[in-house]
Chains A and B, each alone.
Chain A
Amino acid sequence: MAHQKLSLYQSMILILVAVSAPLGNACLDKGMKGLPPISITHLLPLMTAVFTPWVALGIALLIGFFATYLTALSWADLSYVMLATAWGNVVVVFLSRFCLHEPVSAQRWFGVALITLGVGFVAPGPSRTEKPAVALTKEGAPR
């Protein structure tokens, strides 16, 4: 496996993958909790919910997540992208603790420590499996 270093741009893409999904879900959560209960038989309020600021921001962030996730998968391994972006979960805990002032249990802090350790293991490593080039004979056929 060749040791492929990520460029600054690629690192930024991975950071966006990690951050945009949890932030998008948090925005949807905040937006939907601010609305009156929606019945399965009357779905029209669900359509109008899409245009409320928090829900619209959440949808935009989730679209951004999917676009950056596809971009990352086009130049890095799935097993790398999935593991290196797992610290998005940690961001959620820090946001809930320090921005929303919600209590975080010792068990969750232990989870944060394990995830941070795991991402620390994988992030500096190679991002892509290099397939060996097929050696060609003088006639041009694969050897």
Chain B
Amino acid sequence: MTLTSLPFLSAFFWATTAMIATVVLSSTAGEVLTAAAMKSIGDLDEIRAHSGLKGAIVAVLTCPLFFAGILFMAVAFFALLFTLNQLNMNLGLVGPATASLTVVSNAIAAKLFLKENVDRRRWTAAVLICVGVYFLAH
């Protein structure tokens, strides 16, 4: 058995890890930027009550943070397609890994960047759902 035959030393392992990390990080960035945009806009139901549906749509479409979020979500989507196509990987492996890791990374990012109070209750739920999504999708 040579050193290069170990799974964690192969180029394929690192390429897969890098692509899964790209999908998870860009997806998390997209979610956090979109959430920050919606927080800055305010309660959409109140805006709709005052300015109608058109006013609510205009409020969303004139927020630069919203488009930054959409951009990162698009990056995550195309990174997933690239991973499936170029690395010839199975959706059965990449899908559960990215879906379950995104649950935890979103909770961490919400705590760090959006200053949300992610208490013990939410951490417990994040870990349970992360493991649950992995078992469900794998």
Residue numbers of A with Cβ under 8 A of B are 1, 9, 70-71, 73-75, 77-80, 82-83, 86, 89, 93, 107-108, 110-119, 121-122, 125-126, 129, 131
- 14 A-B pairs whose Cβ atoms sit less than 8 Å apart in the complex: A74-B39, A78-B31, A79-B107, A79-B116, A79-B118, A79-B126, A80-B122, A82-B106, A83-B122, A114-B129, A117-B132, A118-B126, A118-B128, A118-B129
Q: Does B21 contact A (CB under 8 A)?
A: no
Closest to A82 in B: B106
Size band of the B side of the interface?
35 or more
- Secondary structure dominating the interface of B: helix
Our pick among A77, A108, A117 for the contact of B136 (Cβ within 8 Å) is A108
Give the distance in Å from the alpha carbon of A70 to the alpha carbon of B47 in the complex: 13
Tell me which residues across on chain A come within 8 A of B116, comparing CB atoms: 77-79, 129
Using Cβ atoms and an 8 Å threshold, which residues of chain B touch A1?
117, 119
**Is B125 a contact of A70 with CB atoms below 8 Å?**
no
In the complex the two chains form, is A78's CB within 8 Å of B32's CB? yes
Determine whether the beta carbon of A79 is less than 8 Å from that of B129.
no
Quick one: CB contact mask for B105-138 with A, threshold 8 Å, 1 for yes? 0110011001111110110111111011111111
Q: Are A117 and B114 in contact (CB under 8 A)?
A: no
Bound together, the chains give a CA A121 to CA B45 distance in angstroms of 27
